[in-house]
Structure 1
Amino acid sequence: MGESCPKCSAATISKGTAEPWCPDCEWNLDRFEAQNRRPEIGWRWVDRRLFRAAYWLTERQHAELTGEPVAARSASAARIVTVAVSVLLLAAVAALLVTGIWLLLYDFFTPVNLIGALMIAVAVFLRPRLGGLDGRAERLDRGTAPTLFAVIERVAGAVGAPTPDVVLLDAERNAYTSTIGLRRRRVLCLGAPLWAVLDPQERVALLGHELGHFVNGDVRRGLVTQAARTTLARVSYLLRPERGAGIVEIIVEFLGRIASQLFLWLHLLLLWTSMRDSQRAEYRADELAARAAGTDAAIRMLDQFLFGDALDTVVRREARAGHGSAAWSAAGRQSLTRLAPEVPAFRQLSRRTEVSLFASHPPVGLRSGLLAARAAQPAAVVVTELEQARMDEELAAHYERVRRELAAATW
Structure 2
Amino acid sequence: MIDTMSGTGACRDCGATLVSLRDAAPWCAGCEWNLDAYDAPRRVPEFGWTWVDRWTWRLAFRMTRRQFGRLVGRPLGATGSGRAALLTAAASVVLLAGVVALAITGVWLIVAFPVPNLSVVLGVALLGLAVALRPRFGRLDPDLEVLSRDRAPELHALVDEVAAAVGAPLPHIVGVDDDLNAYAGLVGLRRRRVLCLGLPYWGALDAQERVALLGHELGHFVNGDPRRMLLTQPAFTMLGSAADLVRPVDTVSGGGIVEMVGEALGKAFQWVLSRLLFGVHLVLVCVALRDSQRAEYLADEMSARAAGSAAATSLLDAVLAVESTALAVRREARAGHGADRWRAAAAEARAAAADRLPRLRQLSVRDEASLFAAHPPAGLRRRMLTDRPWRDPAVVLTEARLARIDAELAKEYARVGRTLSWSG
Amino acid in structure 1 at the alignment position of 2:318: Q
Query: Does the 8 Å CA contact 2:207/2:402 hold for their aligned counterparts?
Result: yes
Q: Which residue of structure 1 lines up, in the alignment, with residue 256 of structure 2? A: none
Aligned partners of 1:184, 1:224: CA distance in 2, in Å? 12
Q: Tell me the secondary structure at the aligned position of residue 10 of structure 2.
A: coil
Q: Which residue of structure 1 lines up, in the alignment, with residue 341 of structure 2? A: 327
Choose from 333, 346, 349 the match for 2:363. Answer: 349
* In the alignment, structure 1 residue 47 sits paired with structure 2 residue 53: yes
Q: Which residue of structure 2 lines up, in the alignment, with residue 265 of structure 1? A: 279
Aligned partners of 1:120, 1:353: CA distance in 2, in Å? 44
Amino acid in structure 1 at the alignment position of 2:334: R
* In the alignment, structure 1 residue 302 sits paired with structure 2 residue 308: no
Choose from 245, 248, 260 the match for 1:238. Answer: 245
1:59-97 Cα deviation digits (max 9, x unpaired):
011011111124377241101100000000001001111
Q: Could you tell me which runs of 5 or more consecutive residues in structure 2 were left unpaired when the two chains were aligned.
A: 1-5, 252-258
Query: Does the 8 Å CA contact 1:291/1:378 hold for their aligned counterparts?
Result: yes
Counting matched residue pairs gives 410
1:308-366 Cα deviation digits (max 9, x unpaired):
11111111122122222122111111101111111111000000001100000000000
Q: Which residue of structure 2 lines up, in the alignment, with residue 119 of structure 1? A: 126
Aligned partners of 2:302, 2:98: CA distance in 1, in Å? 37
* In the alignment, structure 1 residue 389 sits paired with structure 2 residue 407: no
Choose from 192, 205, 209 the match for 1:198. Answer: 205
Q: Tell me the secondary structure at the aligned position of residue 154 of structure 2.
A: helix
Query: Does the 8 Å CA contact 1:315/1:332 hold for their aligned counterparts?
Result: yes
Aligned partners of 2:149, 2:79: CA distance in 1, in Å? 32
Choose from 3, 12, 15 the match for 1:6. Answer: 12
Choose 47-56 or 126-135, whichever is displaced more. 126-135
* In the alignment, structure 1 residue 221 sits paired with structure 2 residue 235: no
* In the alignment, structure 1 residue 160 sits paired with structure 2 residue 167: yes
Residues 83-94 of structure 1: pairs in structure 2 closer than 5 A: 83-94=89-100
Q: Which residue of structure 2 lines up, in the alignment, with residue 64 of structure 1? A: 70
1:120-177 Cα deviation digits (max 9, x unpaired):
1111111111111111121111112111111100000000001101011011111000
Query: Does the 8 Å CA contact 1:156/1:208 hold for their aligned counterparts?
Result: yes
Amino acid in structure 2 at the alignment position of 1:185: R
Query: Given the two structures, how large is their TM-score scaled by the length of structure 1?
Result: 0.97
Amino acid in structure 2 at the alignment position of 1:122: L
Q: Tell me the secondary structure at the aligned position of residue 89 of structure 1.
A: helix
Query: Does the 8 Å CA contact 2:324/2:350 hold for their aligned counterparts?
Result: no
Say what the alpha-carbon RMSD is for the aligned residues: 1.3
Query: Given the two structures, how large is their TM-score scaled by the length of structure 2?
Result: 0.94
Query: Does the 8 Å CA contact 2:71/2:79 hold for their aligned counterparts?
Result: no
Choose 153-162 or 106-115, whichever is displaced more. 106-115
Aligned partners of 1:71, 1:17: CA distance in 2, in Å? 41
Choose from 31, 34, 41 the match for 2:40. Answer: 34
Q: Tell me the secondary structure at the aligned position of residue 186 of structure 1.
A: strand
Q: Which residue of structure 2 lines up, in the alignment, with residue 177 of structure 1? A: 184
* In the alignment, structure 1 residue 248 sits paired with structure 2 residue 255: no
Choose 304-313 or 364-373, whichever is displaced more. 304-313
Q: Tell me the secondary structure at the aligned position of residue 80 of structure 2.
A: coil
Q: CA deviation at 1:40?
A: 1.2
Amino acid in structure 2 at the alignment position of 1:117: V
Choose from 142, 150, 154 the match for 1:143. Answer: 150
Q: Tell me the secondary structure at the aligned position of residue 25 of structure 2.
A: coil
Aligned partners of 1:120, 1:400: CA distance in 2, in Å? 49
Amino acid in structure 2 at the alignment position of 1:343: L
Q: CA deviation at 1:242?
A: 2.7
Q: CA deviation at 1:265?
A: 0.7
Query: Does the 8 Å CA contact 2:305/2:393 hold for their aligned counterparts?
Result: yes
Q: Could you tell me which runs of 5 or more consecutive residues in structure 1 were left unpaired when the two chains were aligned.
A: none
Aligned partners of 2:233, 2:14: CA distance in 1, in Å? 47
Amino acid in structure 1 at the alignment position of 2:64: T
Aligned partners of 1:74, 1:319: CA distance in 2, in Å? 43
Q: CA deviation at 1:217?
A: 0.8
Query: Does the 8 Å CA contact 2:95/2:234 hold for their aligned counterparts?
Result: yes
- Over the matched positions of the two proteins, sequence identity in percent amounts to 49
Q: CA deviation at 1:109?
A: 2.2
Q: Tell me the secondary structure at the aligned position of residue 267 of structure 1.
A: helix
Q: Which residue of structure 1 lines up, in the alignment, with residue 304 of structure 2? A: 290
Choose from 57, 67, 85 the match for 1:79. Answer: 85
Q: Tell me the secondary structure at the aligned position of residue 98 of structure 2.
A: helix
Q: Which residue of structure 1 lines up, in the alignment, with residue 294 of structure 2? A: 280
Q: CA deviation at 1:237?
A: 1.1
Q: CA deviation at 1:214?
A: 0.3
